[in-house]
Amino acid sequence: MTLNPKIKKEKIRFILIVVFITLIATFIIFLLVRTLSDKGALHNSEITEMNKKIKSLNKKLESLNSEYSILNRDRDSLKNHVDYMIPLRSLIYNAKLRDQVGINLDLCPGDIAMMKTDSSRVVIIDLKVGGNDLSYYVNYLIKTNNGSTKEVSPYELSPLKK
């Protein structure tokens, strides 16, 4: 069975084309596998990098949690001191208010003043400040010459001239 030389050439050409296509397909498959493996390696390196970041963030979280517990403990100990002072809050507020008002007045406790009504000398014992949201008062508690105490308005007293 002899084949025609034309058919032989066609057969050889066909075989060469098949081999060439197979080689090209193999090369393309090789490149795809290599690209995918590079992407996998890149993905693995990204995963390891992310794991390192997660570990460092976990360490920071642990340190922040320990600082938070320390601050919480300190806050609780300070709260115990403040809880003791809460019933005294209005007293402290009133004392601060009295001191702020007393700064602006001419006469202070311990000063000697003169009553405007009878020109007698008196000693100022204390300053009384009180009132509510709508009204207030400022009075001096004084000790007179005969030893009695009285509450008078600042308008009823004048400082002694030196």
Q: Which two tokens stand for residue 56?
A: 């460092």
Per-residue pLDDT averaged across 35-56, rounded?
A: 80
Per-residue pLDDT averaged across 70-92, rounded?
A: 81
pLDDT greater than 80 at residue 2: no
Rg (alpha carbons) of the chain, rounded to whole number: 49
Which one-letter DSSP state was computed for residue 162? Answer: -
The model's pLDDT over 125-157, given as tens digits with 9 standing for 90+, comes to: 999 988 887 888 899 999 999 999 999 999 999
- Tokens 């693995």 correspond to 44
Nearest Cα to Cα of residue 127 among 147, 145, 113? 113
Check: pTM over 0.75? Answer yes or no: no
Question: In the structure, what pLDDT confidence band is assigned to residue 162 with cuts at 50, 70 and 90?
Answer: low
Which residues, listed in sequence order, are joined to residue 113 by a DSSP beta bridge? Answer: 122, 159
Q: Report pLDDT for 6.
A: 80
pLDDT greater than 80 at residue 78: no
Question: In the structure, what pLDDT confidence band is assigned to residue 64 with cuts at 50, 70 and 90?
Answer: very high
Classify domain 107-159 at the CATH topology level. Answer: SH3 type barrels. (2.30.30)
CA distance 61 to 77: 24
Per-residue pLDDT averaged across 35-39, rounded?
A: 73
